[in-house]
Amino acid sequence: MTAFDFDPPVSSVRDIVARALAEDVGLLGDLTSLAVIPVDANCRGRFVTRADGVLAGTAAATETFRQLDPTVEVVWLVVDGASIRAGDDLGTVSGPMRSILTGERTALNLLRHCSAIASLTNRFVLAAAGRTRILDTRKTTPGLRALEKAAVRAGGGSNHRESLSDAVLIKDNHLVACDLGEAIERARTRWPGRLVECECDTLDQVGAARAAGADRILVDNMSPEAVKEAIQLLEGAIPVEVSGNVSLETIGAYAAVEPDFVSVGAITYSAGHLDLALDFD
Amino acid sequence: MTAFDFDPPVSSVRDIVARALAEDVGLLGDLTSLAVIPVDANCRGRFVTRADGVLAGTAAATETFRQLDPTVEVVWLVVDGASIRAGDDLGTVSGPMRSILTGERTALNLLRHCSAIASLTNRFVLAAAGRTRILDTRKTTPGLRALEKAAVRAGGGSNHRESLSDAVLIKDNHLVACDLGEAIERARTRWPGRLVECECDTLDQVGAARAAGADRILVDNMSPEAVKEAIQLLEGAIPVEVSGNVSLETIGAYAAVEPDFVSVGAITYSAGHLDLALDFD
Amino acid sequence: MTAFDFDPPVSSVRDIVARALAEDVGLLGDLTSLAVIPVDANCRGRFVTRADGVLAGTAAATETFRQLDPTVEVVWLVVDGASIRAGDDLGTVSGPMRSILTGERTALNLLRHCSAIASLTNRFVLAAAGRTRILDTRKTTPGLRALEKAAVRAGGGSNHRESLSDAVLIKDNHLVACDLGEAIERARTRWPGRLVECECDTLDQVGAARAAGADRILVDNMSPEAVKEAIQLLEGAIPVEVSGNVSLETIGAYAAVEPDFVSVGAITYSAGHLDLALDFD
Amino acid sequence: MTAFDFDPPVSSVRDIVARALAEDVGLLGDLTSLAVIPVDANCRGRFVTRADGVLAGTAAATETFRQLDPTVEVVWLVVDGASIRAGDDLGTVSGPMRSILTGERTALNLLRHCSAIASLTNRFVLAAAGRTRILDTRKTTPGLRALEKAAVRAGGGSNHRESLSDAVLIKDNHLVACDLGEAIERARTRWPGRLVECECDTLDQVGAARAAGADRILVDNMSPEAVKEAIQLLEGAIPVEVSGNVSLETIGAYAAVEPDFVSVGAITYSAGHLDLALDFD
Amino acid sequence: MTAFDFDPPVSSVRDIVARALAEDVGLLGDLTSLAVIPVDANCRGRFVTRADGVLAGTAAATETFRQLDPTVEVVWLVVDGASIRAGDDLGTVSGPMRSILTGERTALNLLRHCSAIASLTNRFVLAAAGRTRILDTRKTTPGLRALEKAAVRAGGGSNHRESLSDAVLIKDNHLVACDLGEAIERARTRWPGRLVECECDTLDQVGAARAAGADRILVDNMSPEAVKEAIQLLEGAIPVEVSGNVSLETIGAYAAVEPDFVSVGAITYSAGHLDLALDFD
Amino acid sequence: MTAFDFDPPVSSVRDIVARALAEDVGLLGDLTSLAVIPVDANCRGRFVTRADGVLAGTAAATETFRQLDPTVEVVWLVVDGASIRAGDDLGTVSGPMRSILTGERTALNLLRHCSAIASLTNRFVLAAAGRTRILDTRKTTPGLRALEKAAVRAGGGSNHRESLSDAVLIKDNHLVACDLGEAIERARTRWPGRLVECECDTLDQVGAARAAGADRILVDNMSPEAVKEAIQLLEGAIPVEVSGNVSLETIGAYAAVEPDFVSVGAITYSAGHLDLALDFD
């Protein structure tokens, strides 16, 4: 098995883990382990889950121990993207006890954060019942986007824009010096071949955006009924993305009208931690 | 007003923002603004809150625009740590429109994340009604600890360990080669003057930890009643810290028995975003 | 005028210039200037061009002097993207002579490199006479992609993929485990909304790629005649991109058959330097 | 074989490759390979050359795959500095297909750029027929100097200044506050033991520079005849370096008068790419 | 043996060594070895000491060679913290000669610096004869604090503050807006659980600091007699730290009155180098 | 006055200071100032010296405050390289008190370290009485070489090699595969125009090195008498550098025989701190 079994780019994982360890280990080291644990003590910990969900972030957890001490061995029984049930064993970490205790918190912070995102994403995906696709947004944690977008994929969601460099998304705010038609024209001229999406707040705007040649419509803060009308209006000509504080309570109603996408910022910014732990034998 | 009005260390803010912008701007830039917004267009946005809470993260939001374009001016009407009510104006950002739209998401991601932590912390602090102090933990987002710990302070909480380098915290796992008394002895020998805290799961352990000379007791996953007993047992000799999945529902009961501290990992890892936005005139 | 008058993202410019200066100044500094130039000597240099072309890279040149010494003033008479003629004055740099001589080479290396790319791109653009659009590729200089892609835009070209993260491009090599149809299906499932382009070496493949649902066809190493047939075959259903060692000699023939795009790696990797210099009064 | 078989310093190679990969892989990863290539697919590619030249940059190409995936194996049949002929096999890369396809472009960009520099350098070296030595300049690509100067050596050229820290080179511009004699004196006083070279545009200046005690004369933009006179004037007392837009057409004429050195900025800045590729079995 | 046998945090060691090598190797490499030593030459060097002292810094020396060339093997006969005598063999380094000669100076600079700190610390520790504990200060070399504080521990000393983030230390300068009592109160309110130490120049201040509730008294620039009085005044209620240019000549007199701690900035900033070398067979 | 009044390269100063501040400020900030000093308190400190010596490091001290808080103003009364006497005022820092107290230690650590090097260098220079020149070595503190070499210059010394990239220095260890003559030949072939220095332990070697064409002789660990013989032997043909634990006690005797250079590692590695402080009004 190679580093590429894990989705997030290896150099992103490497950098994120290096910063996380520098931050948590400090300049002196793990005072407690250095004082109390013999240099030659070894141990074995089991990654376990105390909650149901979807696993993600194993590459980052593995990298944490690798950077601290290459002699630590991490073995996963479950891969990113797998459903896990409270009580499941997820994998093991074994080797020098000092290294393992020093890395425990950083590895868990990363694993719990990523798994929470994958799990919450998956709840949206399941609630959508295949009638729409769940997208993330750019509302990610600064510095962790590569990990978080990989976790969204592990949870069955898909990735919207990687960054501002990757597609055009025209909102009302952008129309200060030209109308929508000219804005789309400018975007196509400057960035040919890029997706040009237009945010619409009303059905009128939806019609205008279609007429102006948008590649995708983002209907923002509309009711499911309004979304349904927008979809009918568009007649399948271009895809529709629903956005605007969609929750687990409302995703079903939106999915029922079958937009192409529902983008949900909350899957990255409000996922919290999945209750995973490291149990020692 | 100087950079030191804002709590988090300026170099941490600088590094976090630089990484966040590199990540979100990408190699090409903000395609939409570059295509649609005239170079000489200016605008003014107001930071507003759509939810009640406590503000934090203004230094990072300001730094975001400063790094993109020093001609952008950011003015805050409210400072970190202030209570804010849905509908409040928080401040303004004005200057070249391209720069402001390019930085909007990054600034908001930082501001919403920090303010959510301050707000959730503050809810715990209010629920504790002055009978105990709320501490954070090391369960912070990798790479953002400096910002998050400052947000906890803005919310009225206090900071537990900065890193593994900063105090000794002995748990069961550490006692593989010696008993608690010897572990404390080793810690004092190696790290004189450092706080030595001991995690206890039972009253027996509490008594043993006191006898062994701990500086503070961390009672983990005990009921409020058991915590009360632990406090009585210790007779005020050393401070008591309660930990273990304390929630807004249970904090009141724990605070009622008046431990010195309650540490709550959730204030940093499960705060999500506070609903702040940038409204354009 | 703000930092955003210049296309490349400011943080990319900042990082590239910082590395370039560290590399060229070394640990001791500019031995010659430190020894020979009085601390209080000032001077004024004029950026001039000794060749015709298109200017690019001014943001990087300005940033070079700014990082060395904020008291140096750089004023441009011409902006990125403008046509320049041998003998033109492009701008001035004035201030402490030591700082200016120390930064001269780094600023010129950046400016000459970017302007060469803009100029060569522009020659392709002019030769295409509006019948097709010129795209760059991922054959950029490692570490300089943000600057080089901005220079391509300054020259009238457009940007193909920013990175591997940004669109799907299926080549023969990718079809080891599935046929093209399934490959496109997999790509759409995993990366919805992303452009899926397919490289084709034969007309048969072109037909197959269209049938399989590709968003764009990349015809590789075909003659203009074959490209013409491909275009006819596709009946305008999807755009066509020509690639494969297209040169200034052949671009006209390709443009004549009016493919949507011609991508030319050489505009970034073989541009060399445009002959710009800094003349002192 | 150790890392030191390859000329450029290992830490330069490591940093350059890390930046190149971060730039090309992006935050999501190689969309195409992740979607289409099975995790367990392996492949083997052969580095081949489609042009004659001199190989360089193998250390950087190897490092590219090593950083992506340590299980990829790279084997070279030819070493940096060897002459290669169109059609030659240069080496192989084998291992997980995803990793190899993800790294292909970055590895080739580095290898093609370095080999082009080595090859162009070598053409100058051959044209000089041993009658002079070919030097590079500080006109290198920002961020890549370590690789490019190693490529020059691979091509049979030699390195001029590493940076501004490494030798004194006095030009007309420097003589604002003192004459040449005093400038040399100041340089010797401040930087004893460093080479002091003086740029001369006329034979008068050559004589003056010699009289003033220069260690080496740089004759700038002189004809071969003038260079010959300069050499005669100096009577072998100090070495002569020719510079100023020397080309493959003119190098022979300059070499014929046997200056000690000819420095050619074009060998680094105008080399382009050598046509190397990775062919898959 | 694992990376954690060595005290300083591995990521600090990695970063410090990477910077040191970049600085010393430069952009061209070790000119001498590259020119003179055959690629396939191997050698074996012995680390030896020409002075008595205490060893420290082995992790950094090992890391130096590991970063240059993973095939180099470093074996230590003595561990950090061990007493060494002039003439002792400390360990060996073997492998490719070029790599070993290139890394020699950097490895020795680190090893000699750390060992000098450990050795000087140890002289203070021995002179204190167990009657007080020797602490370091924040007067460390910028960028090397993690290594230097580890070397202090290797020498038998202990670490005072890791950084400004780690304990409160109130000096006269801080009392601009409130008296000592209020300052301590503010510190406890803002940073609960942190050590609050007060610097005192007079016995009156010592009494006041105790009354105000300080956790530790730092008596600055007092004579041993005055320190003795301070200790008597405090009756063991809180620990006493002596500071202020304590030297090897005076440490005995201070230790004789048995303060809890003596902090000595000189152990880090004036240690110089211990005379260690690498001898080749 | 511009940044270039100060010798060390600005980007080196910037990087060194950024690392130093991150290290000393930590993740929470200056606990003491944040708790005790009002946000709006201002102060003014005077840099004073309590010892005689030579000032250096002012650029780094200024940069420290600039990075923390651009509103802090630093004014120097004395420049790097000036002789200072105990009691002298050196300059002032004024502005927000929190910022000044937070930066005080870092600024002083840098200033005291650099000034100590300048001062010790200057003692050697004075002891040499103009009969030889004092050189530094590569025995510098890892990460601080740019500052330390500038401090040597401020003290009246000169810089030997910047790094391994900058001159050839052949020692016995290098002669494993060829004799000295061939080694010099190889060095000249590979690195034309670079200084080739040969280390000699005996007069025989001195003669051999001259005969082999060395550019400079480094006589290592010879007595002043032997050095005198070496100089006579060389008849002024090439410069002589003395090295090998030369001290303030012995420098006079070596200078008396008038070698061209004496290199002294101790001026950088054993200088310690000069007793400078910041006094508040």
DSSP string for E126-150: HHHTTSSEEE--S---TT-HHHHHH
User: Alpha-carbon distance B49 to B279, whole Å?
Assistant: 10
Q: Which of residues 84-113 of C touch F (CB under 8 A)?
A: 95-96, 98-99, 102
- Picking from D15, D17, D27, D94 by the largest number of A CB atoms within 10 A of its own CB, the best residue to mutate is D27
Across the interface, whether the CB atoms of F29 and E165 are under 8 A apart is answered: yes
Catalytic entry in D44, D46, D66, D105: D105
Catalytic entry in B139, B186, B188, B194: B139
Q: Which of residues 22-81 of A touch D (CB under 8 A)?
A: none
Cβ contact F217:F200 at 8 Å: yes
- Name the DSSP class of F85: -
Amino acid at D124: F
E105 annotated active-site: yes
Catalytic entry in F30, F80, F88, F199: F199
3-state secondary structure at position A138: coil
Amino acid at F69: D
**Quick one: pLDDT at residue E6?**
52
Cβ contact F95:F27 at 8 Å: no
Read off the pLDDT of residues B92-111 as tens digits, 9 standing for 90 and up: 999 999 999 999 999 999 99
User: Alpha-carbon distance E126 to E81, whole Å?
Assistant: 14
C171 annotated active-site: yes
Cβ contact C261:C251 at 8 Å: no
In this prediction, residue B3 has a pLDDT band, given cuts at 50, 70 and 90, of very low
The crossing angle, in degrees rounded to 10, of helices F10-25 and E145-154 is 50
In angstroms, how far is the first alpha carbon of chain D from the final one?
26
In this prediction, residue D6 has a pLDDT band, given cuts at 50, 70 and 90, of low
Q: Which residues of D touch C12 (CB under 8 A)?
A: none
User: Alpha-carbon distance C111 to C60, whole Å?
Assistant: 7
DSSP E strands, chain A: 42-49, 53-54, 73-76, 83-84, 89-96, 133-135, 168-170, 196-200, 216-220, 240-243, 261-263, 276-280
Beta bridge partners of D262: D134, D242
User: Backbone phi, then psi, for C91, in 5-degree steps?
Assistant: 170, -175
In angstroms, how far is the first alpha carbon of chain E from the final one?
26
**Structure-block tokens of residue D170:** 């006095």
User: Backbone phi, then psi, for B54, in 5-degree steps?
Assistant: -125, 135
DSSP E strands, chain D: 42-49, 53-54, 73-76, 83-84, 89-96, 133-135, 168-170, 196-200, 216-220, 240-243, 261-263, 276-280
- Name the DSSP class of B219: E
Across the interface, whether the CB atoms of C149 and B102 are under 8 A apart is answered: no
Catalytic entry in E131, E139, E186, E188: E139
Which of B21, B39, B68 is closest, CB to CB, to C5?
B39
Nearest CA in chain C to F151: C28
Across the interface, whether the CB atoms of D23 and B23 are under 8 A apart is answered: no
Read off the pLDDT of residues B35-44 as tens digits, 9 standing for 90 and up: 999 999 999 9
Cβ contact C147:B27 at 8 Å: no
User: Alpha-carbon distance A38 to A29, whole Å?
Assistant: 15
Name which of A197-206, A213-222, C171-180, E44-53 the model is least confident about. C171-180
For residue F135, what is the enclosing H or E element? strand F133-135
Beta bridge partners of B42: B96
Amino acid at C211: A
Q: Which residues of B touch D23 (CB under 8 A)?
A: 27
The alpha-carbon gap from B33 to the nearest alpha carbon of chain A, in Å, equals 7
User: Alpha-carbon distance D132 to D117, whole Å?
Assistant: 19
For CA atoms A24, A25, A27, A30, the dihedral sign is: positive
Residues in chain E: 281
For residue B217, what is the enclosing H or E element? strand B216-220
Scanning the structure block, which residue is given the tokens 């025209």? A170
The alpha-carbon gap from D170 to the nearest alpha carbon of chain F, in Å, equals 16
Residue in A7, D42, D102 with CA at minimum distance from that of residue C177: D42
- Name the DSSP class of C90: E
Q: Does B235 touch chain D (CB under 8 A)?
A: no
Across the interface, whether the CB atoms of D28 and A9 are under 8 A apart is answered: yes
Catalytic entry in D88, D136, D199, D241: D199
Q: Which residues of C touch E23 (CB under 8 A)?
A: 27
**Quick one: pLDDT at residue A182?**
95
Across the interface, whether the CB atoms of D216 and F193 are under 8 A apart is answered: yes
Half-sphere exposure of B39 (CA within 13 A, CB side): 8
3-state secondary structure at position C97: helix
**Quick one: pLDDT at residue B2?**
39
Beta bridge partners of B45: B93, B280
E194 annotated active-site: no
3-state secondary structure at position B74: strand
Across the interface, whether the CB atoms of D193 and F153 are under 8 A apart is answered: no
pTM: 0.96
B140-172 in b/e form (b: 16+ CB < 10 A) is bbbbbbbbbbbbbbbbbbbbbbbbbbbbbbbbe
Strands C53-54 and A240-243: unpaired
C197 annotated active-site: no
The count of CB pairs under 8 A between chains E and F is: 208
- Name the DSSP class of E164: T
Which of D18, D27, D71 is closest, CB to CB, to A146?
D27
**Structure-block tokens of residue F41:** 């308190």
Scanning the structure block, which residue is given the tokens 């610097």? E199
Strands E73-76 and E89-96: antiparallel
Residue in E168, E183, E157 with CA at minimum distance from that of residue E251: E157
Asked if the model's pLDDT at residue E13 lies above 60, the reply is yes
Scanning the structure block, which residue is given the tokens 């995690």? B199
Nearest CA in chain A to E14: A67
User: Alpha-carbon distance C236 to F275, whole Å?
Assistant: 80
**Quick one: pLDDT at residue F6?**
52
Across the interface, whether the CB atoms of D192 and F165 are under 8 A apart is answered: no
For residue C220, what is the enclosing H or E element? strand C216-220
- Judged on CB neighbours under 10 Å (0-12, 13-18, 19+), C75 is exposed
Cβ contact F18:B11 at 8 Å: yes
Q: Tens digit of pLDDT per residue, chain A (281 long)? A: 333 455 899 999 999 999 999 999 999 999 999 999 999 999 999 999 999 999 999 999 999 999 999 999 999 999 999 999 999 999 999 999 999 999 999 999 999 999 999 999 999 999 999 999 999 999 999 999 999 999 999 999 999 999 999 999 999 889 988 999 999 999 999 999 999 999 999 999 999 999 999 999 999 999 999 999 999 999 999 999 999 989 999 999 999 999 999 999 999 999 999 999 999 98
Q: What distance lies between CA C215 and its chain's CA centroid? A: 24
**Quick one: pLDDT at residue F3?**
39
Q: What distance lies between CA D90 and its chain's CA centroid? A: 20
Which of E2, E5, E9 is closest, CB to CB, to A27?
E9
- With a CB cutoff of 8 Å and minimum separation 6, the contacts of B206 are B200, B217, B219, B230, B233, B234
Beta bridge partners of C74: C93
Cβ neighbours around A221 below 10 Å, total: 12
User: Alpha-carbon distance F25 to F28, whole Å?
Assistant: 7
In this prediction, residue E245 has a pLDDT band, given cuts at 50, 70 and 90, of confident
Catalytic entry in F14, F44, F46, F105: F105
**Quick one: pLDDT at residue C49?**
98
Residue in D220, D246, D271 with CA at minimum distance from that of residue D133: D246
**Quick one: pLDDT at residue E2?**
39
Name which of A140-149, C177-186, D84-93, E14-23 the model is least confident about. C177-186
- With a CB cutoff of 8 Å and minimum separation 6, the contacts of B124 are B134, B157, B248, B251, B262, B264, B267
- Name the DSSP class of F27: T
- With a CB cutoff of 8 Å and minimum separation 6, the contacts of F218 are F169, F197, F198, F199, F200, F241, F242, F243, F263
**Quick one: pLDDT at residue D133?**
97
Asked if the model's pLDDT at residue C4 lies above 80, the reply is no
Q: Nearest 10 degrees: CA dihedral of F65, F70, F73, F79?
A: 60
For residue E86, what is the enclosing H or E element? none
**Structure-block tokens of residue C273:** 């330097």
Domains in chain F (CATH in brackets) are 3-119+272-280 (3.90.1170.20), 126-269 (3.20.20.70)
**Structure-block tokens of residue C31:** 């031995």
E220 annotated active-site: yes
Asked if the model's pLDDT at residue E4 lies above 70, the reply is no
User: Alpha-carbon distance C143 to C145, whole Å?
Assistant: 6
**Structure-block tokens of residue D62:** 């190897």
> In sequence order, which ranges of B129-223 are alpha helices (DSSP H)?
145-154, 180-190, 203-212
Nearest CA in chain D to C140: D109
Across the interface, whether the CB atoms of C11 and B67 are under 8 A apart is answered: yes
- With a CB cutoff of 8 Å and minimum separation 6, the contacts of D6 are D13, D58, D59, D62, D80, D150
User: Alpha-carbon distance A19 to E71, whole Å?
Assistant: 28
